[in-house]
Amino acid sequence: MFLEVKHLTKSFGDTHVLKGIDFGLEKGQVLSIIGSSGSGKTTLLRCINALETADGGEIFVGGNKIFDAAEHFSAQNKKKSRNIVNFGFVFQSFNLFPQYTALENVTLAPALKAREICKRDRLPKAEYKRMLSEIEQKAIDLLGKVGLAEKRDAYPCQLSGGQQQRVSIARALALSPDVLCFDEPTSALDPEITGEVLKIIKELAAEDMTMIIVTHEMAFAKDVSDKIIFMDGGVISAEGTPDALFSQTENRRLHAFLSSFYRT
Ligand SMILES: Nc1ncnc2c1ncn2[C@@H]1O[C@H](COP(=O)(O)OP(=O)(O)O)[C@@H](O)[C@H]1O
Ligand SMILES: [Mg+2]
């Protein structure tokens, strides 16, 4: 397995949000996570992305342990699990920096990383400049990839929701993540704009980008996923291929959840 999540737990005070999450994903696979509001989907993604620290469990990427709660909470290792960037994150509400252009939003993180590397390794200024121009070229290419080449100098407020979300996908790709995570990437968008974002995600899937997608778009999940996980009350209540999951009848919670989508 390329990504392995083992027995992840997380509580906020007395609320046990993740009660032991285990799953694996092969390189190039797409996993969708479905489940009703409050079932712990966002918390799971945030723990995987180190935006939140899990209380227990381990995460492996490519056979390397990138997170171990036991080590994390032993003081001397505190920094270790934080510094590795294996994951990209696309938020429900885009979270672009309003004061920066589309291009600057995409170059910002890699540029900061380049500056850190140059400082650490005492590289000459010319090398830093070379890295920056490479970063800019890559950002321009990525904006092209998401269909926004001509919007590079636009500010977020000058872009539609769908365009902002596409910039934020380019921004996440700029750091060449091993796994790209989406938290309800289209739920803040008008239905007619949803398609343009889903299309980009589908293209990434066709290029074998490894992805985890929390979504309420059932038809899309069925279409794009290699595997779907149904979360219920902080546990994985069901998992399988789209065909297996959507045709199952034994899991009553899943059945009720899925019926609620087709009733309306
Ligand atoms: N930072 C937080 N502090 C306290 N409770 C939280 C926090 N984040 C999430 N929760 C709680 O965890 C539960 C799961 O939330 P969440 O992971 O956002 O679920 P989902 O994304 O499936 O809707 C909810 O009961 C929510 O109120
Ligand atoms: Mg959520």
Q: b/e for 217-229, b at 16 or more Cβ within 10 A? A: bbebbeebbbbbb
Report CA(36)–ligand 1 centroid distance (Å): 12
Q: Are residues 139 and 254 in the same domain?
A: no
Please tell me if the CB atom of residue 40 comes closer than 6 angstroms to any atom of ligand 1.
yes
Instruction: Classify residue 263: in a domain, yes or no.
Output: yes
Q: Which ligand 1 atom sits nearest the alpha carbon of residue 37?
A: 23
- The number of helix segments (H) and strand segments (E) in the chain equals 9, 10
CA pair distance 234, 205, nearest whole angstrom? 27
Q: What is the dihedral of CA 127, 132, 133, 139, to 10 degrees?
A: 150
Q: Whose CA is nearest to atom 4 of ligand 1?
A: 12
Instruction: Classify residue 127: in a domain, yes or no.
Output: yes
Q: Edge to edge, what strands does the sheet with 15-25 contain? A: 15-25, 3-12, 56-61, 64-68
Place of tokens 């380019």: 170
Question: What one-letter code names the amino acid at 101?
Answer: T
CA pair distance 141, 138, nearest whole angstrom? 5
- CA 44 → CA 34, 123, 162, distances in Å? 12, 38, 25
Please tell me if the CB atom of residue 21 comes closer than 6 angstroms to any atom of ligand 1.
no
Q: Are residues 207 and 171 in the same domain?
A: no
Instruction: Give the SS3 label for residue 156.
Output: helix
Q: Go through the chain and tell me how many residues it has.
A: 264
Instruction: Classify residue 69: in a domain, yes or no.
Output: yes
**pTM (2 decimals)?**
0.93
What is the domain-level CATH number for residue 42?
A: 3.40.50.300
What does the pLDDT look like over 206-234, one tens digit per residue? 999 999 999 999 999 999 999 999 999 99
CA pair distance 101, 264, nearest whole angstrom? 40
pLDDT above 90 covers a percentage of the chain that reads 86
Instruction: Classify residue 227: in a domain, yes or no.
Output: yes
- State how many domains the chain has: 2
Report CA(36)–ligand 2 centroid distance (Å): 9
Q: Which ligand 1 atom sits nearest the alpha carbon of residue 46?
A: 17
Q: Are residues 200 and 73 in the same domain?
A: yes
37 vs 72: which has the higher pLDDT = 37
What does the pLDDT look like over 230-262, one tens digit per residue? 999 999 999 999 999 999 889 999 999 998 877
**pLDDT value at residue 58:** 95
Domain boundary among 114, 143, 176: 176
Please tell me if the CB atom of residue 14 comes closer than 6 angstroms to any atom of ligand 1.
no
Report CA(219)–ligand 2 centroid distance (Å): 19
Q: In this structure, what DSSP letter does residue 233 have?
A: T
Q: Are residues 21 and 82 in the same domain?
A: yes
pLDDT band at 75 (very low <50, low <70, confident <90, very high): low
Domain boundary among 176, 209, 237: 176
Over residues 110-114, mean pLDDT: 94
Instruction: Classify residue 226: in a domain, yes or no.
Output: yes
Instruction: Classify residue 63: in a domain, yes or no.
Output: yes
pLDDT band at 81 (very low <50, low <70, confident <90, very high): very low
Q: Which two tokens stand for residue 250?
A: 């034994």
Are 115 and 132 in contact by the 8 Å Cβ rule? The answer is no
Return the ligand number nearest the Cα of 44: 1
Q: Which ligand 1 atom sits nearest the alpha carbon of residue 183?
A: 21
Place of tokens 């997608």: 213
**pLDDT value at residue 83:** 45
Q: Are residues 98 and 79 in the same domain?
A: no
Q: Are residues 13 and 138 in the same domain?
A: no
pLDDT above 70 covers a percentage of the chain that reads 95
Q: Is the pLDDT of residue 87 over 90?
A: yes
Report CA(102)–ligand 2 centroid distance (Å): 26
Report CA(178)–ligand 1 centroid distance (Å): 26
Q: What is the dihedral of CA 254, 259, 261, 263, to 10 degrees?
A: -170
Please state which of the ranges 82-91, 193-202, 212-221 shows the lowest mean pLDDT: 82-91
pLDDT band at 72 (very low <50, low <70, confident <90, very high): confident
Over residues 53-66, mean pLDDT: 93
Over residues 136-165, mean pLDDT: 97
Q: Whose CA is nearest to atom 20 of ligand 1?
A: 38
Range of the domain at 133: 94-176
Report CA(153)–ligand 2 centroid distance (Å): 31
Q: Are residues 72 and 198 in the same domain?
A: yes
Q: Are residues 73 and 112 in the same domain?
A: no
Are 92 and 187 in contact by the 8 Å Cβ rule? The answer is yes
Instruction: Classify residue 10: in a domain, yes or no.
Output: yes
Instruction: Classify residue 238: in a domain, yes or no.
Output: yes
**pLDDT value at residue 85:** 62
Q: Is the pLDDT of residue 79 over 60?
A: no
Look over the chain and give the mean of its residue pLDDT values, rounded to a whole number.
Answer: 93
